[in-house]
Amino acid sequence: MSRLVCCVALLLLAAPVRAWDDARLSVPVVIDERTIPYPVFAIYVLPEQTFRVSFRDAQGGGTVRFLEAEQPMGNAAVSAPAAPGLYPMEITNAASGERALVNVFVMTPAARIDQRGYLNGYRVGSYPSQPLRGLEIYRPPPGFVELTADNADTRLSPNFRLGQFVSKQSHGDGPRYVVLRANLLLKLENILTTLNLAGRPTSGLVIMSGFRTPFYNQAIGNVPYSRHVWGGAADIYIDEAPADGRMDDLNGDGKVDRNDARWLADFVNEMSRRGDFGPRIGGIGVYGSNAAHGPFIHVDVRGSLARW
- The pLDDT confidence band at residue 9, using thresholds 50, 70 and 90, is very low
pLDDT at 57: 75
Q: Which DSSP string do the residues of 103-159 spell out, in sequence order? A: EEEEPEEGGG--TTSEETTEE-----SS-GGG-GGGSPPSEEEEE-TTTTT-EEETT
pLDDT at 10: 43
With beta carbons less than 8 A apart as the criterion, state whether 44 and 145 touch.
yes
With beta carbons less than 8 A apart as the criterion, state whether 249 and 257 touch.
no
With beta carbons less than 8 A apart as the criterion, state whether 179 and 146 touch.
no
Q: Is the pLDDT of residue 11 over 70?
A: no
DSSP label at residue 208: E
Measured in Å, how far apart are the chain's first and last C-alpha atoms?
Answer: 42
Residue 200 — φ and ψ, nearest 5°? -110, 85
- The pLDDT confidence band at residue 72, using thresholds 50, 70 and 90, is confident
H/E segment holding residue 236: strand 233-237
- The pLDDT confidence band at residue 265, using thresholds 50, 70 and 90, is very high
- The pLDDT confidence band at residue 18, using thresholds 50, 70 and 90, is low
Produce one character per residue of 206-218: b if its CB has 16 or more CB atoms within 10 Å, e if not. Answer: bbbbbbbbbbbbb
H/E segment holding residue 72: strand 69-72
Percent of the chain with pLDDT over 90: 83
Cα-Cα-Cα-Cα dihedral sign, residues 70, 76, 77, 81 = positive
- The pLDDT confidence band at residue 147, using thresholds 50, 70 and 90, is very high
CA-only gyration radius of the chain, Å: 19
Can you tell me the distance from the alpha carbon of 1 to that of 99, in angstroms, rounded to the nearest whole number? 36
Average pLDDT over residues 53-77: 85
Q: Which DSSP string do the residues of 31-63 spell out, in sequence order? A: ETTEEE-SSEEEEEE-TT-EEEEEESSTT--EE
pLDDT at 60: 63
Can you tell me the distance from the alpha carbon of 219 to that of 204, in angstroms, rounded to the nearest whole number? 29
Average pLDDT over residues 198-212: 97
Average pLDDT over residues 166-181: 90
H/E segment holding residue 86: strand 85-93
Q: With CA atoms as reference, report the closest residue to 24 among 132, 143, 152, 157.
A: 157
Q: With CA atoms as reference, report the closest residue to 293 among 241, 258, 253, 242.
A: 258
Percent of the chain with pLDDT over 70: 93
Average pLDDT over residues 116-136: 95
